[in-house]
Amino acid sequence: MPPAKKRPRSYDSGKIRAAVVAQFGHVREAVAGLTPEQLALDSGLGEWTVRELAAHLCMAVESLNRAIENRDVENRAVERGGPEGPAGGRPLTLADWPAATAAHAGAIADGVREYAASAPPEELFTRTAARLDALLPGADDDRVTAIRLGPMRLGDFLVTRTVELTVHTDDLNRATGLAVPFDRQALAACTRVLADALAVKAPGASTEVRVPPYAVVQCVEGPRHTRGTPPNVVETDPLTWIRLATGRTGWREEVEAARVSASGERADLGGLLPLMG
């Protein structure tokens, strides 16, 4: 008998909303203190400067504002008897989202340059924060909205904002030498989304991936572990995991630096990473 299909992980809406607001606040405060010289630094992400990275962080939340306002998909769903989506007529899910982002990287990069040039960073963040404060309290998590990648449940899109904010806060810290703090709930949700994306990409139960204190998933085809210590175990910390999952660092590099512990013949995840760019 095949193993029962796992239920998608659930997230507490109140905690996710608070995490998005808190992490955006941390970034806004940090960006407001950057000098012109710091804004002109190389971000480490292609040709982006730190100013463009900051604009992208702001865009991550502004896209949430637009999603809350957008009712086009909801209206079409009512007219046609159900939401249209990219997979079998359903909206994009959290499991779909990490892999789906790669196809839109070019368009996102072009949009970032234009957005960054449209106003000073402080003005962009102030405007976006004011819109978030006005729109978020009345947002309906269950409504299907339009995003760049396709229709998506608003509550799921909110969770993806913790990924964008956490990943790019780490980028900002490495580019500038700052220590912008990570909201605990945002870091936890980001870690879990990317761990679950690995389990979707490599389904199975032969390898256990541990990212304490936030996530444990089983993945990779092979003999199923039932009790005791699994034969194949990978363990790392949240930020190392996030960097691996998004291609900021490499598997071999992190194993050799002892930031990743991997034991067992099916514990090499190098061929499965990154999960999103």
Of residues 33, 23, 19, the one with CA closest to residue 177 = 33
Whether 206 has a pLDDT exceeding 70, the answer reads yes
Q: How far apart are the first and last CA of the chain?
A: 37
For residue 121, how many other CB atoms are within 10 A of its CB?
Answer: 20
Q: Where in the chain is the domain with CATH 3.30.1050.40?
A: 188-272
The 3-state secondary structure of the chain, one letter per residue: CCCCCCCCCCCCHHHHHHHHHHHHHHHHHHHHCCCHHHHCCECCCCCCEHHHHHHHHHHHHHHHHHHHHCCHHHHHHHHHCCCCCCECCECECCCCHHHHHHHHHHHHHHHHHHHHHHCCHHHHHHHHHHHHHHHHHHCCCCCEEEECCEEEEHHHHHHHHHHHHHHHHHHHHHHHCCCCCCCHHHHHHHHHHHHHHHHHHCCCCCEEEEECCCEEEEECCCCCCCCCCCCCEEEECHHHHHHHHCCCCCHHHHHHCCCEEEECCCCCCHHHCCCCC
Tokens encoding 148 = 């760049």
Q: At what angle do helices 50-69 and 13-32 cross, to 10 degrees?
A: 150
Distance CA 243, CA 251 (A): 10
Q: Where in the chain is the domain with CATH 1.20.120.450?
A: 13-182
* pLDDT-derived band at 106, boundaries 50, 70, 90: confident
Mean pLDDT of the residues in the chain: 90
Q: What value does the mean pLDDT take over residues 147-158?
A: 94
Q: What is the dihedral of CA 57, 49, 96, 264, to 10 degrees?
A: -110
Distance CA 149, CA 73 (A): 13
* pLDDT-derived band at 90, boundaries 50, 70, 90: confident
**Biggest alpha carbon–alpha carbon distance for the chain:** 62
Identify the pLDDT of residue 73.
52
Tokens encoding 61 = 């939340």
Domain 13-182: top CATH class: mainly alpha
Whether 129 has a pLDDT exceeding 80, the answer reads yes
Tokens encoding 185 = 């709930």
Whether 217 has a pLDDT exceeding 70, the answer reads yes
Dihedral sign computed on CA atoms, order 9, 198, 182, 52:
negative
Distance CA 115, CA 113 (A): 6
pLDDT tens track for 221-255? 987 766 667 789 999 999 999 999 999 999 999 99
Contact 158, 17 (CB under 8 A): yes
CATH 3.40.50.720 fits 188-272, yes or no: no
Determine what percent of the chain is predicted with pLDDT higher than 70.
89
Please state the pTM of the whole predicted model: 0.91
